[in-house]
Amino acid sequence: MDDLSNMFFEPTRRDVLRWGVACGAAGALCHATSASTMAQDVASGLELTGPKLEGVARNEAMFWEKLDEKKVKCVLCPRECVVADVERGYCGVRENQGGKYQTLVYGALCSANVDPIEKKPLFHYQPGTTAFSIATAGCNIECKFCQNWQISQFRPEQVNSVLVTPDRLISACKARRSPTIAYTYSEPVIFYEYMHDTAALAREHGIGSVMISNGYIQEKPLRQLCKHVTGVKIDLKAFTEKFYVDSCAGELQPVLKTLEILRDIGIWLELVVLIIPTPPRRRSRWPSGWSSTSVRTCRCTLRVSIRRTGSRTCRGRRYRRLSGAAGSRSMRVCTTSTPATCRCTPARTHTATTARKS
């Protein structure tokens, strides 16, 4: 009966005006929200201008071994690619030229922006400050839900880049009064050499460096890097090997090992657990021994991705369950996207002072 009455309802002029105003307000709100939600890092303009790079920026790579027949073995990440002459590793940015391994992205920045540090996200590392955020093309895993796939899953020749030396980057960072450089957007492990040199130089200038990474890196390069960077954020994509293999073309165990190493080193560490609405996953299991209150964990929900469609924002049961699983281990859980509304009570917050000390 109600349905029928709705069908024959005749709106007055006042009703139409009321609805119009309501729709307009809702539309404006949605637009503002979706604009920030859907914004992708790769869509942002470069903060730096410089010589436009034609081709690639070659430099000798770090962490590789010579093999016979001009082959090399890369020992930067757990993948340990064996690369023949003229071929590239899985990441697409490290190439064997005549038996010598080279990085093709040294200073080849395809993205540079001044972001709030919380966008990394790092919610407890100098909150309220900005991070000069940079990236090159390439990644050492292939997540089907990648949000920055336009740069992470392409090779250096296939994206627009500018050539920026470490000292020029430091100058630009100072000019914009950013206390931190964030190596982010794609996967900083694959531009390790540039990150390493820049972080070392930045430290001399009192500028912090944070690596926003998937944690897919070997122990030796990680320990060497941690002498220079001041903070690390690791994306823990899932809690099962199967998910890592099927959806990320990677492995879980090396990431867990990275977390252990970072904890041993004592560097500032925050974890992000990405919640993907589909498909269903097994109950989350935190690595044993992970009850340290010094580790912060936050949730990020999926936005625009590369090969996964039909995604939606997840705020439901699984979200609450994951929060509970983490919380039960006495981990600090931050479930919001802005520090102002964050309800977690961190043991301490990384400040500029602690950054310099560490």
Partner 1 sequence: MSTQSNRRRFLAQMGAAAAGMALPTSRVLAVMAGPDKRKSRVVITRDEALTHGRPAEHRDLLRKLLDAAMQRLTDAPDAASAWRQVFDHGDRVGIKVNTLGLSTQPAVVDAIVAGLRKAGVSAEKIIIWDRFDVELDAAGFTLNKSVRGAQCRGTDAERIGSGYQRQIETSGRIGSSFSRIVAEEVDALISVPVLKDHNLAGVSLGMKNFYGAIHNPNKYHDHHCDPYVSDVVSHRYIRPKWKLSICDGTRAQYNAGPGYHPGFAWPFGGLIVSTDFVAADAVAADLLDAQRKEKGLKTLADDGRPAKHIATAGTRGLGEANLARIDRIEV
Residues that bind partner 1 (CB under 8 A): 55, 69-71, 82, 84-92, 96, 142, 144, 149, 153-155, 157-160, 249, 306-307
Contact (Cβ atoms closer than 8 angstroms) between residue 150 and residue 101: no
Contact (Cβ atoms closer than 8 angstroms) between residue 339 and residue 118: yes
Q: How many angstroms separate the CA atoms of 323 and 319, rounded?
A: 6
Closest residue by Cα to residue 194 from 169, 222, 219, 227: 169
Question: Is the peptide bond preceding residue 121 cis, with omega within 30 degrees of 0?
Answer: yes
Q: How many angstroms separate the CA atoms of 276 and 160, rounded?
A: 30
Query: Which C-beta is closer to partner 1: that of 34 or that of 160?
Result: 160
Contact (Cβ atoms closer than 8 angstroms) between residue 121 and residue 272: yes
Query: Which C-beta is closer to partner 1: that of 306 or that of 352?
Result: 306
Q: Considering the complex, what minimum distance in angstroms separates the CB of residue 239 from partner 1?
A: 23
Q: Considering the complex, what minimum distance in angstroms separates the CB of residue 169 from partner 1?
A: 21
Q: Considering the complex, what minimum distance in angstroms separates the CB of residue 98 from partner 1?
A: 8
Query: Which C-beta is closer to partner 1: that of 90 or that of 125?
Result: 90
Q: Considering the complex, what minimum distance in angstroms separates the CB of residue 88 from partner 1?
A: 5
Q: What beta strand segments (E) does 98-215 contain?
A: 100-103, 108-109, 111-116, 130-135, 162-163, 180-183, 208-213
Query: Which C-beta is closer to partner 1: that of 59 or that of 97?
Result: 97
Q: How many angstroms separate the CA atoms of 331 and 192, rounded?
A: 30
Q: Considering the complex, what minimum distance in angstroms separates the CB of residue 102 from partner 1?
A: 14
Q: Considering the complex, what minimum distance in angstroms separates the CB of residue 143 from partner 1?
A: 11
Query: Which C-beta is closer to partner 1: that of 53 or that of 273?
Result: 53
- Read off the DSSP letter of residue 282: P
Closest residue by Cα to residue 62 from 106, 128, 122: 106
Query: Which C-beta is closer to partner 1: that of 94 or that of 329?
Result: 94
